[in-house]
Structure 1
Amino acid sequence: MPDQSPSNESDLLAIKSRFVRGRNVLYARANFSQLYVDYYLHLKDNRIELEPSHDQRLKTALALFSLHCISHPRNDVLAWTVNFQDPLLNVFLGGDTGTGQVVGRIYTENVKPAEENAFYQDIVRRGRDPHRSVVGFQGGDMIQAVETFYAFSEQRPARFFEIEPDDYAIVAAHPDYDVDWFKGLTMEQVRSLEEDEEVVDLETRFVRWSCGCNQERILKTLAPVFLSDAEELFLGEELIEVNCPRCAGKYRISRELLEAYVADH
């Protein structure tokens, strides 16, 4: 399906980040219902059905990833692949901190068994070489997985909270942060943090569900395979269905269309 991107800021999810004085932490909280509307429209448009547990896992991951993105510099392109061994699946998230685009999907096929869960982050910062971090973690909880990744890979620890359904918060440590307060932070304290602490607004970022995939990009990806072995690609059929690796969007590609693309390029 072509990318249906929002056209103005009123269509985007605004997330305001704040600095908590005396505690030296960044704090941000948002209700992700607006983002989830676009996510569910994407599932409906592409006839994608997820098991309820997979759906909830991906929704949680989208919220945590969005909060992660808005706490990063604006020139980063980020990707998470969170591998769970029980049940065996991968959760993929991708995002651009400059545009605010976030996207995700669940992989349940061709996922390799391993001795432990693994959290991968790939980051491309403009002007620098790509970088990958890998951290092992225990259990099946998405928040625990992300916090473990922060503890061992990011330059500062962070804690994430599901305040209400669809309502999530991040508290990320800055230099000279109050370690004891940070470690002992409770859900109730996060609920009332803006009333109980001295909080200063930093900036507002905007987040939107958007992959950027389109038919042109799918054809570009398929062209080398088609040139190498067209019969293996189409297996005697005139039409194939291809899923976007980032959002699972479905594209129906005909042999005639791909032949025309290859001829033009």
Structure 2
Amino acid sequence: MNDPKPLPAEAGLEVRSHFVRGRNALVTRADFGDLYVDYYLHQGQHGYQHDPFHDELFKQALAAITLHCASRPWNESSAWTIHLQAPLLNLFVAGDNRLSTVVGQLFTENVKADAAQIFLADVVRGNEAPQRSAVDFTGNDIFRAVERYYLQSEQRVGRFFSFGPEDFVFISAQPQCDLQWLEKLTVEEIQMLDSSEQLSLLEIRSYRWECGCTQERMMAVLASVMKSDPEGLFGEDPVIRISCPRCGARHKITREALEAYVGAEEGK
């Protein structure tokens, strides 16, 4: 952990991490109001809108991965894919500690209706090979699904608490944690944690909503298809529209621009 130091407001969402002395637990907390505003502005910018209930589930997942990332090493990135049956949708969220970014998208089309509910976690730390784990879960409470992931894959206790619709706390067990205390914690006790326990501020991290998808990256995705079947890709249309699978941003790609991109790549 770095030495704690305040960040400027424009740096993004502020997540504070505290160590609970005598309990050996890590607390990460943030108010996600500003990040949710960025998410809705992104929707408006790209002209799409989700069902309000689906949005609430997505925002839970976005908060969960942000607090999770804030509790992890600086050189680690995580991506979660959460498949739900009721409602029928897939949630995708990702966080990168190296870039201090979080992003995500939800999908309601081409989702398998007869599949088991699965929580997939992909983790990359430094230059190590990616690691994947899969955990099944019940219900549609995203925080409870992440808690199950912690028990099954992380093999330790992690618990989420809500202070309000946009204010969340995550407490994760560290070595020699007082598990009996952590497992029995109530919302009321969490609200009194500052006065009932000895907390040490470890770090303040900043996260912002950002994907990094660009026209060039979208063309890189389409390049191989353009080389093999340009007519199948464009047909008689001079423009195709493609959505970023990470954030839902909508990009317009002209045939002329893609031809120029492919030509430049082949000329290297």
Question: Partners in 1 of 2:52 and 2:39 — Cα distance?
Answer: 14
Report Cα offsets for 1:112-132 as digits up to 9, x if no partner. 234421000011112211110
Corresponding position of 1:3 = none
Pair 1:235-2:235 in alignment: yes
Q: Tell me the TM-score normalised to structure 2 length.
A: 0.93
Aligned residue pairs total: 258
Corresponding position of 1:67 = 67
Q: Which runs of 5+ in 1 are unaligned?
A: 1-7
Report Cα offsets for 1:133-181 as digits up to 9, x if no partner. 0000011111111111111001422001111110000010011111111
Corresponding position of 2:12 = 12
Question: Partners in 1 of 2:114 and 2:192 — Cα distance?
Answer: 41
Letter in 2 for 1:124: V
Question: Partners in 2 of 1:85 and 1:62 — Cα distance?
Answer: 19
Pair 1:129-2:125 in alignment: no
Question: Partners in 1 of 2:254 and 2:188 — Cα distance?
Answer: 56
Corresponding position of 1:146 = 146
Q: Report the CA distance between 1:194 and its aligned residue.
A: 1.2
Question: Partners in 1 of 2:202 and 2:99 — Cα distance?
Answer: 18
Corresponding position of 2:95 = 95
Question: Partners in 1 of 2:212 and 2:47 — Cα distance?
Answer: 18
Letter in 2 for 1:157: V
Q: Specify whether residues 143 and 241 from structure 1 end up closer, same or farther in structure 2 by C-alpha distance, changes over 3 A only.
A: same
Letter in 2 for 1:166: E
Q: What are the within-5 Å matches in structure 2 for residues 113-128 of structure 1?
A: 113-128=113-128
Letter in 2 for 1:226: M
Corresponding position of 1:79 = 79
Corresponding position of 1:4 = none
1:116/1:138 contact within 8 Å kept: no
Q: What are the within-5 Å matches in structure 2 for residues 149-228 of structure 1?
A: 149-228=149-228
2:11/2:206 contact within 8 Å kept: no
Letter in 2 for 1:246: R
Question: Partners in 2 of 1:98 and 1:196 — Cα distance?
Answer: 34
Question: Partners in 1 of 2:127 and 2:133 — Cα distance?
Answer: 19
Q: Tell me the TM-score normalised to structure 1 length.
A: 0.94
Question: Partners in 1 of 2:154 and 2:48 — Cα distance?
Answer: 33
Q: What are the within-5 Å matches in structure 2 for residues 24-63 of structure 1?
A: 24-63=24-63
2:160/2:171 contact within 8 Å kept: yes
Letter in 1 for 2:206: F
Report Cα offsets for 1:186-215 as digits up to 9, x if no partner. 011111111210000111111110001111
Q: Which runs of 5+ in 2 are unaligned?
A: 1-7
Question: Partners in 2 of 1:186 and 1:62 — Cα distance?
Answer: 23
SS across alignment from 1:38: helix
1:18/1:199 contact within 8 Å kept: yes
